[in-house]
Amino acid sequence: MSKPLKRILVVDDEENTRLALTRLLAGEGYDVKTAANGSEALNQLRSQPVELIITDLNMPVMNGLAFLRELHREQPASNVIMITAYGEVESYLEALNLGAFEYLNKPVRLDDLKKVMCKIFHES
């Protein structure tokens, strides 16, 4: 009997990033959904929970930190990896304080992402 696919939500305003991460993660056997901003992501999560959220920091409508704040109120046990092209110590610390599991710089290397995902999913 095969194990069920783990669901991942990729949240990024850049369509190319969403598509690239979707291809990579789907190729690794994950069920991947996408959202263009934090507000869209919250709406999806209310009806379809996921095991992991990979979200960008800088997005219009609702940025990654605002999304994390709201997510923490609604679903505090969520696994979140924050990604950004604008890594700053302040946003890094705030993201971790808001419950992000990890903070990765763009462009995201698949090996780095897989290592973090293995820790989240307790896989070897």
Q: What is the 3-state secondary structure (H, E, C) of the chain?
A: CCCCCCEEEEECCCHHHHHHHHHHHHHCCCEEEEECCHHHHHHHHHHCCCCEEEEECCCCCCCHHHHHHHHHHHCCCCCEEEEECCCCHHHHHHHHHCCCCEEEECCCCHHHHHHHHHHHHCCC
Cis, bond preceding 107 (omega within 30 deg of 0): yes
How far apart (Å, rounded) are the C-alpha atoms in residues 13 and 47? Answer: 21
Q: What is the pLDDT of residue 1?
A: 44
Q: What is the pLDDT along the chain (124 residues), one digit of tens a residue?
A: 455 689 999 999 999 999 999 999 999 999 999 999 999 999 999 999 999 999 999 999 999 999 999 999 999 889 999 998 877 888 889 999 999 999 999 889 889 999 999 999 987 5
Full strand arrangement of the beta sheet holding 80-84: 31-35, 7-11, 52-56, 80-84, 102-105
- Give domain 7-121's CATH superfamily: Response regulator (3.40.50.2300)
Domain boundaries, the chain: 7-121
Taking each helix axis as running N to C, give the angle between helix 64-74 and helix 89-97, from 0 to 180 degrees, rounded to the nearest 10: 10
> Rounded to two decimals, what is the model's pTM?
0.93
Q: What is the pLDDT of residue 111?
A: 92
Q: Return the pLDDT at 4.
A: 64
Structure confidence at residue 56 (pLDDT): 95
